[in-house]
Amino acid sequence: MKISRRGFLQAAGVAGTALVALKAKPALAHEGSESLDTRGENENAMLVDTTLCAGCRACEGACAESNQLAPPPSDDAVYKTRRDTGPEQFTVVNQATEKGRDGEDRFAKRQCMHCIEPACASACPVRALDKQPSGPVIYRGDRCMGCRYCMVACPFEIPKYQYDKLAPLVRKCTFCASRQADGKKPACAQVCPTGALMFGKRSALLELAKMRVYRTPDKYIHHVYGEHEAGGTDWLYISDVPFEKLGLRKVRDEAYPDKVQGALSAPPFVMTLWPPLLMGLYAFSKRGRDQAANGHPHGPSVPPATTTPAIPPPATEDNRSSHE
């Protein structure tokens, strides 16, 4: 009994050490999509000043052209309904249901927010969706198996699926990652005639956004949408009408991948602690049975009914080792 208990503790100790080693792994995996320490400061970002947007939808056209999508509808009747992005339209401009403080119409462009810690990428089992260190959340269709867990995960409901295709892909704004790699602005920012879309480093754009909000407090709502939403996004919005009126949904401030981390730290525990624990239980139950069935060929020379099962006879140790 003594020895087996010590053995068990040793096993638990070994398991504990292994656990520490294993714990390092998820942390590393996380670092693949880095820039977390700096909270995305150096990532490329976009500031949308909705007070400057004229609703010309040039960005929609440029996006379609750059991504080889069907051209967007030219008729401004599209403003009568609130549109959502789709598998063949990565960005849409919606009209606010409220006029701005100057009495003019307000518009907001919607697209992938390119979270600093994207829920979609953390949910992807094959890292088909992946966060690039420079900012864009990109998609590799050749690995995607089409589980659509990214669509479940995204709090902004941005990933869209080609349900009508036989080899469907997840589709969303790429932040023009390839253009960025060539040192160019995303197509939408390139064509924006009013300066409503500003491309730059996140830290600089965040400062600019806050400066505008602080300097002209009666012109803007005191909030930068995207600074903290979903743990922070690379697309930032400032506005003079409530963000929900622009079709920008309320989203929690926490980084979504964090919500799963607790549960995902369980497997190393299970893998290291279950087997020794179960084998221990097996050994105990087997010993109990052998003792119960006294004349059993396995368990020699246990004197019948000399002691209660709680205090085993000294012969037990040999007994145990003999069949293990």
Q: What is the C-alpha separation between 251 and 235, in angstroms, rounded? A: 14
Token pair, residue 187, equals: 């197509």
Return the number of the residue (89 or 239) whose C-beta is nearest other proteins: 89
Q: Least distance from C-beta 147 to other proteins, angstroms?
A: 6
Q: Which residues have CB under 8 Å from 142's CB, separation 6+?
A: none
Q: Least distance from C-beta 97 to other proteins, angstroms?
A: 17
CB atoms within 10 A of CB 221: 17
Q: Least distance from C-beta 273 to other proteins, angstroms?
A: 10
Q: What is the C-alpha separation between 259 and 262, in angstroms, rounded? A: 7
Q: Least distance from C-beta 76 to other proteins, angstroms?
A: 24
Return the number of the residue (75 or 142) whose C-beta is nearest other proteins: 142
Q: What is the C-alpha separation between 244 and 223, in angstroms, rounded? A: 12
Q: What is the C-alpha separation between 149 and 127, in angstroms, rounded? A: 12
Q: Least distance from C-beta 283 to other proteins, angstroms?
A: 10
Q: What is the C-alpha separation between 225 and 42, in angstroms, rounded? A: 18
Return the number of the residue (112 or 119) whose C-beta is nearest other proteins: 119
Return the number of the residue (65 or 84) whose C-beta is nearest other proteins: 84
Residues that bind other proteins (CB under 8 A): 25-26, 29-30, 84, 86-87, 119, 122-128, 142-149, 151-153, 155, 157, 160-169, 251-252, 256-257, 259-264, 266-267, 270-271, 274-275, 278-279, 281-282, 285-286, 288-289
Q: What is the C-alpha separation between 11 and 94, in angstroms, rounded? A: 61
CB atoms within 10 A of CB 246: 25
Helices and strands per DSSP (H, E), number in the chain: 10, 9
Token pair, residue 247, equals: 């079709």
Q: What is the C-alpha separation between 172 and 153, in angstroms, rounded? A: 14
Return the number of the residue (58 or 251) whose C-beta is nearest other proteins: 251
Return the number of the residue (214 or 274) whose C-beta is nearest other proteins: 274
Q: Least distance from C-beta 245 to other proteins, angstroms?
A: 19
Return the number of the residue (263 or 305) whose C-beta is nearest other proteins: 263
CB atoms within 10 A of CB 124: 23
Return the number of the residue (144 or 176) whose C-beta is nearest other proteins: 144
CA 114 to chain centre: 11
Q: Least distance from C-beta 51 to other proteins, angstroms?
A: 28
* Angle between helical axes of 266-292 and 2-31 (0-180°, round to 10): 160
Q: Which residues have CB under 8 Å from 6's CB, separation 6+?
A: none
The H or E element containing residue 210 is helix 202-215
